[in-house]
Amino acid sequence: MSGLATSDNPVDSVATNPSQPSITSTTTPDASRREPASAAAGTTELSSQSVTALHEHEQQQLETAKKLVVNALRFVPDFPIPGIKFIDILPIFQDPTAFESLLDVLVLLIRERFGDQIPDVIVGLEARGFLFGPTLALRLNRPFVPVRKKGKMPGACRTVEYKKEYGKDEFQVQTDAIKPGQSCLIVDDIIATGGTAAAAGQLVELSDASVMGYLFMIEITNLKGKALLGDKPMITLVEHDEEE
């Protein structure tokens, strides 16, 4: 494959979801998966990554698609329990235009960060990394490898333990899924504390492969999950600080 290609389809605007508080082109409500309803709304911004390496029409497409993705998010109060505010990314996948635009912007961000280098493998984290990871891999003409919780995949697996908010859990990857020497881009919907992403990175390295970088739709910046990822490049669409 000679390079990264985005869709030729124009990026159309989508009406703001009625369940979402009104936002400007640069801010949006709380973008964490959950937050006590009484907490401050926080600050959410589109990731301010440089786009100087892209052509002018690609820059415009990138910024328009970012805003479209934010507008497609839905915020659900008192889910899964009272006092929790949940961010629902599923409306993006229910709208073909929003989904296509999401893939376009991810491809552009990958090219912006890595130039003509394309990851050998897209590694997606259970479960929301499975929503766009396979289609992103298909767009890049690359294989997709799932990372799942222990006991959900047959055959020999590599296992890494990671800490959760309460207790511990384990991630696995099949031993023949990632080949030695391959470069891997790890993708998921949100990075918060960074434990699951870091565990996936360990699984890649246990496979004698390398972590090319990480890609997330949303980063909760005040939780500083990026610190667990070391010096690896990280791509995000939306940055959110719950404390501002």
- The per-residue pLDDT for range 33-56, each reduced to its tens digit, is 443 333 334 555 556 555 446 888
User: Is residue 83 over pLDDT 50?
Assistant: yes
- The per-residue pLDDT for range 85-111, each reduced to its tens digit, is 677 889 999 999 999 989 988 999 998
pLDDT, position 209: 98
- pLDDT bracket for residue 177 (50, 70, 90): very high
pLDDT, position 9: 44
Query: Residue 220's closest CA among 183, 167, 165, 178?
Result: 165
pLDDT, position 87: 75
Greatest mean pLDDT range, 13-17, 138-142, 164-168:
138-142
Please name the amino acid found at residue 75: F
Token pair of 103 as six digits: 């893939």
